[in-house]
Amino acid sequence: MKLLNITAKIHVYTIDECNESKKKLIERAKLATHMAYAPYSGFCVGAAVLLENGEIISGNNQENAAYPSGLCAERVTVFNANSQFSQTGIEAIAIAAFHDGDYTNEPCYPCGSCRQTLLEVENRFGKSLKVIMYGESAIYEVDSIKDLLPLSFGKESLKE
């Protein structure tokens, strides 16, 4: 038997160490948390994407009493951006969460479905997508969604 060891490179920093572009993207994600519709969980997530053309599009989670019918902030945001700018790639996405009257201390990570959606964005536009996960105590950033989704299933998996 062989053992396969998978690692991920994650940049860890604080908001004070961000450049102005990242601060702006994170701030838009944080602002989006306050417009989330989360009456069941009370966990409000916001996301913001930076498009190749410099536009920033934000979105937030939308819950539903029939739980599978809701949608996470990351997918709301990506689908919104792709519907408005269908031929423009996404350079980065920032994610933030607000719960119990404050932003979460630890970074907010995308769920499995959102990771798969972000992988599709990378495949669609043929370039890596930076994922910036905000927390009050630290910010985590990966250079590609593949760092958060090893052994991923993408379009190359559908070839014989």
Which residues are annotated as catalytic? Answer: 74
Element (DSSP H or E) covering residue 139: strand 139-142
Beta strands in 2-136 (DSSP E): 11-13, 44-51, 56-60, 90-99, 102-103, 130-134
DSSP 49-86: EEETTS-EEEEE-B--SSGGG-B-HHHHHHHHHHHHST
Beta strands in 100-135 (DSSP E): 102-103, 130-134
**72: closest CA among 111, 39, 120?**
111
Give φ, ψ of 148 to 5 degrees.
-100, -5
Q: C-alpha dihedral over 86, 89, 94, 99, to 10 degrees?
A: 20
Please report, as a single letter, which amino acid is at residue 80. N
